[in-house]
Amino acid sequence: MDEALLRSLTPGVLTVLVRRGADFAAAEDAVQDALVEALRVWPDGRPRDARGWLVTVAWRKFLDATRADTARRGREGRVEEEPAPGPAPGVDDTLQLYFLCAHPSLTPASAVALTLRAVGGLTTRQIAQAYLVPEATMAQRISRAKRTVSGVRLDRPGDVATVLRVLYLVFNEGYSGDVDLAAEAIRLTRQLAARIDHPEVAGLLALMLLHHARRAARTAFDGSLVPLAEQDRGRWDTAAIAEGIGILQAALARDRLGEFQAQAAIAALHADAPTAEETDWVQIVEWYDELVRLTDSPVVRLNRAVAVGQADGPQAGLAALADLDAALPRHTAVAAYLHERAGDLTKAAQLYAEAAHKAPDLAERAHLTRQAARLNARRHPRHSPPEA
Amino acid sequence: MAKYLLLKHYRGAPAAVNDVPMDRWTPEEISAHMKYMNDFAARLEKTGEFVDGQALAPEGEWVRYDGEGRPPVTDGPFAETKDLIAGWMIIDVDTKERAVALAGELSAAPGAGGEPIHEWLEVRPFLTEPPTITE
């Protein structure tokens, strides 16, 4: 059973229903029903024309639902049995779906859920599992999202930036359940990049590929985080790196720099370094300067301070850090790292422990606690046995 | 089956026997502890007794309603004296004895020196739905 094929067909099937006159919300429900049906019956034998099968089943589900709805309201059925002739295909409806599902009127969580379902072809259950919420909650989030965009027509181009933010969120929000959201984000971004010629779409795709390439090396066998400098670079996915760098170079050649291209450029410089020591930190700082110019984000300035610490030494890094708000997430962790490199182990250990206290996730908390423990163990070789 | 909450505290529980802050352990001891906790949850999933496990950040605040049209009143961060929950595991088990036995195992997670922490955990039964048959 090729679930990937099923998912890749989803947006096309949905747009067929919309072209036949179904409203978006009802069409999307019908496609979801057809997907669930396919997941149930395809394992016994996939239809030869998978797309045709999905269109037929989805259209029938749509008619059933509409009839039931009409009957409930005690009216005569007004729905045509035969599909109304829609406008000629050719306009890229799938692209419009991306815009609709990332519409600025939606909250980020709603846009993510709707994109994964309507464009990604995931079931509500899979999305709910991935985001660790009950299925009923996710179902409500999706139907509210559809109500929110119900007045939006599918025929106007939207804002690429909002779509990219949604895809970035899908990629970046970790993964659980049986769906690999990072891989799914890459698939959706790749599909988008094939439909729209935009250097930032390419930049985001490159960024995702370059980070995904390091995934196997990012976690140790016991599940703990492995920082970039300590990763076994032999475990990086060289094919993904090559693809990411190729896409990035083509995008940069267009000379329309954006934040995703700049972030991808930084990831590419890391990917290029045969060892952590050979990293071109000077160039990385230059890219952070570009990013600061593009985004003026305090988080970028914080990352820049780390890079400055590598390029010009820990004192320079600490000086860059001093200009930033200490309440920024990870500020304490960065300070701990720079103090350690500057040789102040006592201060570093204390800051690592403080950073662990503020860590936003368990893996990072464990990592920072280990850093504190490592320095403490060095400063006070094996404490006396605990009193029992 | 009955559900129980196994509650772990940052503060407010009686002191553990092996009471050494984690940043004074060795990195290997931290890894061993993490592995024990993960294995424990994985084993309960296999036996069909695991429901949920979550960890909480140590910082938070009190919030209360302050009347129509006004933003809620907040008070925080928590005072140092406050009982502070670190996280929980919810299990669905046949008997209270089983819940207590599992809490005991969880409390044996290794800490400093690789020795069990003997941490105090709170075991709280859930209030259930009323039964269908009442007489």
Based on the number of CB atoms within 10 Å of its own CB, is A294 exposed (0-12), middle (13-18) or buried (19 or more)? Answer: middle
Q: Compute the distance between CA of residue A122 and CA of residue A130 in angstroms, rounded to an integer.
A: 10
Asked if B56 has any chain A CB less than 8 Å from its own CB, the reply is: no
Residues A14 and A43 reside in one and the same domain: yes
B59–A358 C-beta distance less than 8 A: yes
Please say if the pLDDT value at position A373 is more than 70. Answer: yes
Residue A100 lies in a domain: yes
Query: In whole angstroms, how large is the CA radius of gyration of chain B?
Result: 18
Q: What is the pLDDT of residue A77?
A: 46
Give the model's confidence band at A154: pLDDT under 50 very low, under 70 low, under 90 confident, else very high: low
Please say if the pLDDT value at position A73 is more than 50. Answer: yes
Asked if A20 has any chain B CB less than 8 Å from its own CB, the reply is: no
Measured in residues, chain A has a length of: 388
Which of A176, A170, A174, A217 shows the shortest CA–CA distance to A190?
Answer: A170
Asked if A219 has any chain B CB less than 8 Å from its own CB, the reply is: no
Give the CATH number for residue B56.
3.30.70.1060
**Three-point CA angle A36, A40, A42, nearest 5°:** 110
Which of A193, A185, A184, A172 shows the shortest CA–CA distance to A4?
Answer: A184
What is the extent of the structural domain holding B54?
2-125
Q: Which of A369, A382, A384 to mutate to test the interface with B (most CBs of B within 10 A)?
A: A369
Q: Compute the distance between CA of residue A82 and CA of residue A44 in angstroms, rounded to an integer.
A: 29
Q: What is the pLDDT of residue A333?
A: 97
Q: Compute the distance between CA of residue A230 and CA of residue A222 in angstroms, rounded to an integer.
A: 15
Asked if B23 has any chain A CB less than 8 Å from its own CB, the reply is: yes
Residue A374 lies in a domain: yes
Give the model's confidence band at A383: pLDDT under 50 very low, under 70 low, under 90 confident, else very high: low
Residue A107 lies in a domain: yes
A377–B59 C-beta distance less than 8 A: no
B57–A360 C-beta distance less than 8 A: yes
- Tokens 């709910």 correspond to A128
Number of domains in chain B: 1
Give the CATH number for residue A141.
1.10.10
Residue B132 lies in a domain: no
Q: Helix, strand, or coil here: B56?
A: coil
Q: Helix, strand, or coil here: A227?
A: coil
B27–A377 C-beta distance less than 8 A: yes
Asked if B113 has any chain A CB less than 8 Å from its own CB, the reply is: yes
What mean pLDDT is reported for chain A?
Answer: 90
DSSP state of A373: H
What is the extent of the structural domain holding A152?
92-174
Residue A187 lies in a domain: no
Q: Compute the distance between CA of residue A202 and CA of residue A192 in angstroms, rounded to an integer.
A: 9
Number of domains in chain A: 3
Residue A290 lies in a domain: no
B23–A377 C-beta distance less than 8 A: no
Residues A11 and A54 reside in one and the same domain: yes
Using left for φ > 0, alpha for ψ between -120 and 50, and beta otherwise, residue A330 falls in left
Residue B135 lies in a domain: no
Domain end among A149, A174, A199: A174
Residue A79 lies in a domain: no
Lowest mean pLDDT among A79-83, A304-308, B42-46, B94-98: A79-83
- For residue B7, give the H/E element and its range: strand B2-11
